[in-house]
Amino acid sequence: MDFVKVWESKWNEALKLWSDYVKLTPAKFLFSEYEEKEEGLTASFAAIRLKDHRVLLSVKQIKSYQLEDYALEILGHEIGHHVYCPGDLADQAKLIYITNLAMPRLNHLTSMIVNIYEDLFINDHLKKQNHLRMEEVYQKLGKQKDPFWNFYMRTYELLWALPSSTLTEGSLCDQIQSDAALVSRMIRNFPNDWAKGMFDFASICFPYFFGENNQINSNSIKILMDTIDAGKGMTPPSGITEVEISSELFPMDGITGSKKALTPAEYSTICKSMGIEADISEITYRYYKDKALPYLVPFPERKTPGAKEEILEGNDLWDPGSPIEKINWMESTIKSPIIIPGYTTVEDVYGETTSNEIKVNPIDLDLFVDCSGSMPNPQNDLSYLTLAGAIIALSALKTGSSVRVTLWSGEKEFLVTDGFIKNEKEILKVLTGYFGGGTCFPLELLEDQYKVEPKRKRHILVISDDGIDTMFTQSYPRDPRAIVKNALEKANGGGSMVLQLYQPNKNPVVIELQQSGWEIYPIQTWTDLIKFSKDFVERNYVRNQALR
């Protein structure tokens, strides 16, 4: 194990291969199969972990491949994954997505192709800029007759001007020679923008795995897989709901040359490919939050000029029925050293006086989102209902409003947050759920919530379609119209319904709702919800923003 001490002493030197300013926790050496299993290092002799920016090394496997003399080469390579390619989880996710597009039906190989592509850039940098013995590391690993392996090794031979057969085995066909030449130019053309070449590289790799006769020797290639589970232990990444696809060699209309929006299902697949162990609700929450952020707008708030200012007028006896935090303990102790609640405890008494201050009164949001069978499942496809709800709810939270979200479908079939809350994660987890059943508006929630007028104004917002008529047409033990009218009055912050209607002017329930004070916003398609969510504030509140 003497080589371990040598490698540890070379850690700082390996960091300086990339920059004098790079700081990483020293590599972790694993001395037993148990340690390797615990850390997830089973096939390769080295790996990275993005969660804690760590390099993992298998002492046993390094010895078995006789790599003890290549400390800088291997340490420098692993550090390169942290500081150069991919660098972070978001870039890794983008490369995986692009590769999935280029290799349909072979997505199980995506992580491997991405890993090999990243290795090409890192190894070429270390060879050309630092003159390290990268080719000798591959010579230690041994030659293979596999076509893909030879294509990969031939690329290194061309990049480093090595004689043929230095890394390859046997006579190479014209296709391998041509592919290696293309990839070698790609590595040199995109050293600082390697995402541009990912689609083309994956497209070149695709034929090597297509068909029964083109199965790579999995054991040989697994030796190199050091980024397979790089995202293990991490949360789903942000900033990848849209990915730009570039291609010089394989232009495909509708895919390359522009940004492509990911679906929630594709986002989930990417997370799993990186080793991220998160449930579907967590992944979907991250997706819609990221999708909503560019659209956030200020939520309406009531501004009251000349708001009353409180001034202390004295003390009064604290009533045991009042909140305990109202007790003025200092004054109570002065009055009597022996504290007897309700007898010797006092609370402050405040009066009011006019001031020039402007009091801001956020309007809380009571959001009802239809989740019946006519609506898309937000966990598989982009749901504009969910996205609009996320935009409006997150906007409300920005100005101090509290939000209650109700996801509803059939009778007694609804999911609701624990009252009006400010926890964005809990709000979006409810929004991203799915029932897909019948349609029956949850009148009981309106009835229970608005028995008394709330302390703060609330705006009730309903997103649905023609199924909104169940608000009045369902069988309910009490008068639905009275319940809806009472809720709108008690909320005291207005009510809006954005509805996808087939015949907006002929739905009698919608007409009745509009006549009773609800603002109705008919839309043609669900994509119109994005514009609605951005216009929501101005259309409802600008004309009455200041109340005196």
Residue 315's pLDDT band (cuts 50, 70, 90) = confident
468, burial (CB in 10 Å: exposed 0-12, middle 13-18, buried 19+): buried
Paired tokens of 102: 């280029």
For the chain, which residues make up each domain, given as ranges?
Answer: 1-278, 309-353, 362-544
Asked if the model's pLDDT at residue 542 lies above 50, the reply is no
Residue 547's pLDDT band (cuts 50, 70, 90) = very low
β-bridge mates for residue 216, sequence order: none
The reported pLDDT for the residue numbered 321 is: 65
The answer to whether the CB of 172 falls within 8 A of the CB of 154 is yes
Which comes out higher in pLDDT, residue 220 or 532? 532
The answer to whether the CB of 294 falls within 8 A of the CB of 387 is no
Please enumerate in sequence order all residues whose Cβ is within 8 A of that of 2, keeping only pairs 6 or more positions apart, or say none. none
Q: Cα(79)–Cα(11) distance, rounded to whole angstroms?
A: 10
Determine the straight-line distance between the first and last CA of the chain, rounded to whole angstroms: 80
Paired tokens of 484: 């809806």
Q: Cα(119)–Cα(111) distance, rounded to whole angstroms?
A: 12
The answer to whether the CB of 273 falls within 8 A of the CB of 293 is no
The reported pLDDT for the residue numbered 107 is: 85
The reported pLDDT for the residue numbered 353 is: 66
Residue with tokens 């997103």: 463
The reported pLDDT for the residue numbered 360 is: 58
Please enumerate in sequence order all residues whose Cβ is within 8 A of that of 228, keeping only pairs 6 or more positions apart, or say none. 44, 47, 111, 112, 115, 275
343, 399, 492 from 324: Cα distances, Å: 14, 29, 30
Q: Cα(111)–Cα(117) distance, rounded to whole angstroms?
A: 10
The answer to whether the CB of 407 falls within 8 A of the CB of 415 is yes
Would you call 149 helix, strand, or coil by DSSP? helix
List, for residues 509-533, the tens digit of each pLDDT value: 999 999 999 999 999 888 888 888 8
The answer to whether the CB of 294 falls within 8 A of the CB of 534 is no
Q: Average the pLDDT over 78-86 and give the result.
A: 94
Asked if the model's pLDDT at residue 216 lies above 80, the reply is no
Residue with tokens 């997830």: 40
Please enumerate in sequence order all residues whose Cβ is within 8 A of that of 29, keeping only pairs 6 or more positions apart, or say none. 4, 7, 8, 57, 59
List, for residues 431-453, the tens digit of each pLDDT value: 999 999 999 999 999 999 999 99
Paired tokens of 315: 């003390």
What helix, strand, coil percent values describe the chain, rounded to 5? 45, 15, 40
The reported pLDDT for the residue numbered 452 is: 92
Q: Cα(150)–Cα(148) distance, rounded to whole angstroms?
A: 5
List, for residues 222-242, the tens digit of each pLDDT value: 788 888 888 888 989 888 888
Please enumerate in sequence order all residues whose Cβ is within 8 A of that of 535, keeping only pairs 6 or more positions apart, or say none. none
The reported pLDDT for the residue numbered 80 is: 95
Paired tokens of 209: 């795995």
The reported pLDDT for the residue numbered 308 is: 63
Which comes out higher in pLDDT, residue 253 or 211? 211
Report the topology of domain 362-544: Rossmann fold (3.40.50)
The reported pLDDT for the residue numbered 253 is: 60
Residue 407's pLDDT band (cuts 50, 70, 90) = very high
For the chain, give the mean pLDDT.
87
The answer to whether the CB of 461 falls within 8 A of the CB of 494 is no
Would you call 71 helix, strand, or coil by DSSP? helix
293, 368, 388, 451, 497 from 288: Cα distances, Å: 9, 17, 10, 33, 22
- CA dihedral for 461, 426, 374, 387, sign (positive or negative): positive
List, for residues 330-348, the tens digit of each pLDDT value: 888 888 888 888 778 888 8
Q: Cα(345)–Cα(542) distance, rounded to whole angstroms?
A: 47
Pairing, β 301-305 against β 309-317: unpaired
β-bridge mates for residue 310, sequence order: 352
Residues in the chain: 548
Which comes out higher in pLDDT, residue 215 or 23? 23
List, for residues 340-371, the tens digit of each pLDDT value: 887 788 888 877 666 555 555 688 999 999 99
The answer to whether the CB of 344 falls within 8 A of the CB of 334 is no
86: cis peptide before it, omega within 30°?
Answer: yes
